[in-house]
A and B are shown apart, each in its own frame.
Chain A
Amino acid sequence: MAAARLGLRRVEQIMGTAISLHIADPLPPDELAALADETFAWLREVDRRFSTYRADSEISRLDAAAVDLADCSPDVSAVLDACAGLWRATGGWFDVYATGRLDPSGYVKGWAAQVASDRLVAAGAGNHCLNAGGDLRVRGRPASADKWRVGVRHPWLPDRTAWVLEGTDLAVATSALYERGLHVIDPYTGHPATFLRSVTVVGPDLGVADAYATAGVAMGEAGLNWLATLDGYESAAVCEDGRAFRSAGLPAVDSQP
């Protein structure tokens, strides 16, 4: 079909993961390429400023007290302010100091992709899917359907989905233990959280969804009740013992395709 040839798909390795961009708008190819270039350039810029794996990032230097917050870029202040608000909103369960050093990566990846998605919309590419290593933002629709179909990766079977979500304006973030092991730290005990194997949060802002998903995993069993109380955000969670839970308003497709 000719429709399958329009639009753009590109994958780049940034932030230690794969970032997949799919723009469905039937814009001229050079315009699509420029939009993709800008999107990936932004994500690289975020990685330079925020990566905890780079000693020369602003975040690493800030944590080492080699620089003052006042001398950092405005984005750093904005991100840390947002993280403070999320720390309050989650009752301390989203905590950029949970590991003992400053690490906002449970928010930054989602935030960066949200900003990129907003810029694509502003530039006239309102039909796209930007997937930053598993945290994604969909807007509008793909060429061949009315809505984007987002699979939530099964927490044990890598090539299966536990849920399929549908929508035209969704941020979907997942925090889970099957890729990097027990990497989510309970900020109250300092120990890894183990009860929930996967938490997915769906809502309007990907940075917030990212932080909420991280907080949900950190909370363990109490996270199941907490996730249900989130205003404007839906969720799905799978326990390490195999039980699965979802919120009433999760935009899931219940039937097989």
Chain B
Amino acid sequence: MRRPTAAVVGTIAGTALLVGARLGTPPAGDRAGQLAEETAGAPDQATPTTTGTAAPHPGAVSPSGTGRPAPPASSRTTASPKRTATATATRTRSSAPTSTGLRAGTYPGSTVTHKYGTLRVTITVAGGRISAITESYATSLPVSEQINQDALPKLRQEALAAQSARIDTVSGATYTSGAYRTSLQAAIDRAGG
């Protein structure tokens, strides 16, 4: 048992990675018990294990930590950025550790409040692996679930212009000192007004 399937991980990138980092423990009962022990308790403390997600939303909670991001298990080309959620799994019921890794059970994460409501992620473990990840949105506004799913602003497409407008300065890719000499910016600097 190693990482959860990409399809499962892809549903909630941040939390899945968080838990995913704890998977891959060697098949040993003690380690599995230890793992479940680790995830229980301290519900208010974020547990940043992996870093980096494919869900760059500035308003959402991101995993903390300054190390390098681990490559995501799922594809990152999505139509809209996913929310990240830092969740601490809290054990609600347990059973005997399996020989392959995680202790079976349902682990509700903490509730994350973001711009359009609150999000709670719940992870179900069975057979030593994550068998389900569910998201639930809880808000007082009936339309907010729709907002959660599809309210993000988009860039608007337009024709690419090619103007010779009067300008004071140019923003572009960093030119080398040599390339500067023949650049539009150099022409402006020479003209001096």
Contact = CB atoms under 8 A, between A and B. Distances in A.
Contacts of B164: 159-161
B163 A138 contact: no
A158 B187 CA distance: 12
B171 interface: yes
Interface in B48-91: 51-59, 62-64, 66, 68-69, 71-72, 76-81, 84
A246 interface: yes
Contacts, number: 239
B177 A230 contact: no
Contacts of B54: 91, 188, 222
B173 A180 contact: yes
Contact of B78 (A95, A129, A222): A222
A251 interface: no
Which 9 A/B pairs are nearest by Cβ-Cβ distance?
A92-B52, A91-B56, A153-B172, A92-B69, A176-B173, A151-B167, A245-B155, A18-B180, A244-B160
B183 A158 contact: yes
Given A135-B174, A179-B176, 16 more contacts: A9-B193, A17-B176, A20-B188, A87-B66, A95-B52, A133-B174, A134-B172, A153-B172, A160-B162, A161-B162, A161-B164, A162-B160, A175-B173, A189-B71, A215-B56, A243-B160
B157 interface: yes
A111 interface: no
Given A91-B55, A229-B81, A244 B157 contact: yes
7 contacts: A9-B192, A88-B62, A134-B170, A150-B168, A150-B169, A189-B71, A225-B155
Interface in B147-193: 152-177, 179-180, 182-189, 192-193
A131 B55 contact: no
A135 B171 contact: yes
A219 B80 CA distance: 12
Interface in A129-149: 129, 131, 133-136, 138, 142-145, 148-149
Interface residues of B, number: 62
Nearest to B191: A9
Interface of A: 4, 9, 11, 13, 16-18, 20, 22, 84, 87-93, 95, 97, 109, 129, 131, 133-136, 138, 142-145, 148-154, 157-165, 172-180, 187-189, 198, 200, 215, 219-222, 224-231, 235, 237-238, 242-248, 253, 256-257
B163 A235 contact: no
Nearest to B82: A91
The secondary structure that dominates the B interface is loop
B155 A246 contact: yes
Contact of B165 (A161, A200, A228): A161
A18 B167 contact: no
Contacts of B174: 17, 109, 133-135, 179-180
A231 B153 CA distance: 11
A253 B166 CA distance: 11
A61 B162 CA distance: 44
A150 B160 contact: no
Contacts of A97: 68
Contacts of B57: 91, 226, 229
B171 A173 contact: yes
A134 B175 CA distance: 7
